[in-house]
Structure 1
Amino acid sequence: MDFTLTEEQEQFAEAIRRFLMTEMTPELTRELWNTDTGRSDALWRQLADQGLTGLMVPQEQGGLALGEVEWAPLAQACGYFALPEPLLDTALVAAGLLRDALAVAPHASARERCATLLERIATGDARVAVAHPQERLVADAHVADAILCAHDGAVHLLRPDHVTLTPRTGLDPSRRLFELAWQPDAGTELIPAGTGLWDMALNRGALGVAAQQLGLTQRMLDLAIDYSAQRKQFGKAIGAYQAVKHLLADVAIQLEFAKPVLLRAAAALAHGLPDAGLHVSHARVAAARCAWTAARQAIQVHGAMGYTWELDLQIFTKRAWALAGSWGDRAFHKARVGAHILDGGHDIGAGATFA
């Protein structure tokens, strides 16, 4: 199985990386920490102009009709630059859920509501928060133009005035988290229970987190390498010492082994494979291990400086730690992988990997 991206996919991802390198700087991150919303309308408009908000939206609603494979490198770029905007929740999870809902919506009115919101997502006119049953706290509900919520398996579409928000403080000041209080009724229900839409939303959310964790791993590794080349002890850069090299080599090896796992999960989702959830959980566990190791080793290389507020490293370590429990923690995803291994219905071993 070929896990390499096409030339067009690589070019698109590289264009987004160049854009974020220019626009999403650590200075902007710190500036947004001190604003009321923590978000930038100008940056959101630029993301929409790049076509990112319409990536999963069908062409009939003005989108690009692409899928999870294209999102894998883009979400890594979002992680690398610690993008605070709710791009993945809106353009990957919410847009994917609404796209799937178009196929199963029982009434023309529900299909019209889905199509209208997809059109607004594609043009960048709507941020959409997703309140999944797996998530007790909802990210970016305060700037959302619509919120997709679950109640007894059904999908409800809420306006901001339908919801009472209670802010909760998290580890990462860039993540704005809220508890939601709302009352379901016939007017808010979009799709009835039993469609499996929330399972797909969970897989897409977990895929987005795993990709961000790999991007964060690469950024923390780069920062540690740069610091080890500049910081000197006994007249030599600390990066010349074998012990420091081993710390960073461990991170690099884990990262390279996790990348194809992420792409396999993205391909499984894009092609609707029956074991897509297994591959997503595998990617999530591998990426979480990478990010945790990278944060630990990068701080070790920086020494006490790694803990200080002034260094950029803390932006990325806090994001990595904050994402550890998002869209299912490691225990949840390990349990999904374990259930697959131990159910007795699947062959285990290298020869059965791609069976």
Structure 2
Amino acid sequence: MEFLLSDVHDDLGSTVDALLTKADVASRARAWADGDPQPATEVFATLAETGISGLLIDESSGGSSAGAIEMAVAMEQIGRHALPGPVIETIAVLPVLFHAANITGERLSALAEGAIATCAIPPIAPMAPVADVAYLVRDGVLSTATVGEPVATVDPTRMVAELTPGEVLADGVSVDDAIDIGILAAAAQLLGMAGAMLTLAADYAQARKQFGRPIGSFQAVKHHLADVAIAIEMARPLVHAAALGIDGLAPEDTDIRRDVAAAKVAAGDAAHLASRRALQVLGAIGYTTEHDLSLYLTKTRALLTAWGTPAVLRQRVLESL
């Protein structure tokens, strides 16, 4: 199986990276945490203008008719910049869920045009990140939903809530594909966040001096950061392989559900290791809300359990063996 990205994918990643760098997502994330989502909402609109929001939406509904590998490439860059909001649900899960329910028209077009929406699919995603538009799937019944009382999480940009079902849109809906794409999107985001934390730690290690030398020149620090780099590079092919499986490009006997679970476990482990090692390198300043590392520390903790806890996903892998 070919794991290397093409030039098209590299260009896509570079485009998303440049767009989010220009947007200064960190300041918008802090505004979201302070109760003002509007600045980040503008980023969603910009992503829609470049076709990112509609990657998994058919061209007939205003999307790009792309696949899971393109979504994973974009989501890795979104994770690298710690974009707040229900990114996984808006860009990945809902387009696939609507396709499974044969829902087309305005609901899909709105997502492609930059609308922000959320969803819950119990038991793997029992609560949803807060958004004005929400959907719920319970026992195969897809419905609109009312968002309950917001509950704070460790990530101040990620409030979650229970959903109450409203208008029934479809029944007999299979949620397997939507769940798998949600797990993959979370894995790609975690991979991007791990890379961002490694960069923050490496830059700090080059700038911070002790005993007249950059701390990055000390062997212990080098080993810490090398461990993170290895974990990231071991996780990346698993994420790409899972995306290829979802796109139908893997060998016929591939267990896609296993590969998706393994990808998120590996990416989550890499992000968790990156968060710990980056905090060790930066020291106390990494705890402060003024430093960008804090955005990644809290989001990593939140996404580790989003769309499947490590225990649930490890169990899925175990059952496939």
After TM superposition, the score normalised by the length of structure 1 is 0.85
| Structure 2 Cα separation of the partners of residues 38 and 206 of structure 1 | 27
Question: 1:166 is matched by which residue type in structure 2?
Answer: E
**Residue of structure 2 aligned with 1:153, choices 129, 132, 140:** 140
Query: Which residues in structure 2 correspond to 1:1-355 (within 5 Å)?
Result: 1-37=1-37, 40-102=40-102, 111=103, 114-124=104-114, 126-133=115-122, 134-141=124-131, 143-144=132-133, 147-156=134-143, 158=144, 163-182=146-165, 188-193=167-172, 195-196=173-174, 198-271=175-248, 275-341=255-321
CA contact (8 A) 2:142 2:169 kept: yes
CA contact (8 A) 1:9 1:70 kept: yes
| Structure 2 Cα separation of the partners of residues 260 and 239 of structure 1 | 28
Question: 1:284 is matched by which residue type in structure 2?
Answer: K
| Structure 2 Cα separation of the partners of residues 170 and 278 of structure 1 | 28
- The Cα offsets for residues 271-302 of structure 1, whole Å up to 9 and x where unpaired, read as 18662111000101101110111011111111
Question: 2:146 is matched by which residue type in structure 1?
Answer: V
CA contact (8 A) 1:166 1:180 kept: no
Structure 1 residue 31 displacement after superposition: 2.7
Structure 1 residue 319 displacement after superposition: 0.7
Can you give the 5+ residue segments of structure 2 that lack an aligned partner in the other structure?
A: none
Structure 1 residue 13 displacement after superposition: 1.6
Structure 1 residue 53 displacement after superposition: 1.5
The answer to which of 244-253 and 40-49 deviates more is: 40-49
Higher-Rg structure is 1
**Secondary structure at 2:135 match in 1:** strand
| Structure 1 Cα separation of the partners of residues 77 and 307 of structure 2 | 19
Total equivalences in the alignment: 317
**Secondary structure at 2:149 match in 1:** strand
Structure 1 residue 337 displacement after superposition: 0.3
CA contact (8 A) 2:85 2:129 kept: no
| Structure 2 Cα separation of the partners of residues 3 and 281 of structure 1 | 18
| Structure 2 Cα separation of the partners of residues 75 and 24 of structure 1 | 17
CA contact (8 A) 1:80 1:215 kept: yes
Structure 1 residue 46 displacement after superposition: 1.2
**Secondary structure at 2:169 match in 1:** strand
Structure 1 residue 37 displacement after superposition: 4.0
- The Cα offsets for residues 132-172 of structure 1, whole Å up to 9 and x where unpaired, read as 1122221133x32xx2211222222x1xxx52521101111
**Secondary structure at 1:166 match in 2:** coil
**Secondary structure at 2:245 match in 1:** helix
CA contact (8 A) 2:44 2:116 kept: no
CA contact (8 A) 1:163 1:180 kept: yes
- The Cα offsets for residues 310-347 of structure 1, whole Å up to 9 and x where unpaired, read as 22111111111111110010000000000011xxxxxx
- The Cα offsets for residues 211-268 of structure 1, whole Å up to 9 and x where unpaired, read as 0111000000000001111111111111100000000000001111111110000011
Structure 1 residue 39 displacement after superposition: 5.7
| Structure 2 Cα separation of the partners of residues 4 and 92 of structure 1 | 22
**Secondary structure at 1:253 match in 2:** helix
Structure 1 residue 12 displacement after superposition: 1.6
**Secondary structure at 1:167 match in 2:** coil
Change (3 A) 1:11 1:213: same
- The Cα offsets for residues 54-106 of structure 1, whole Å up to 9 and x where unpaired, read as 1111111121111101011111001100011433311211012112322xxxx
**Secondary structure at 1:281 match in 2:** helix
**Secondary structure at 1:98 match in 2:** helix
**Secondary structure at 1:163 match in 2:** strand
RMSD across aligned C-alpha pairs, in angstroms? Answer: 1.7
Structure 1 residue 127 displacement after superposition: 2.2
**Secondary structure at 1:298 match in 2:** helix
**Secondary structure at 1:40 match in 2:** helix
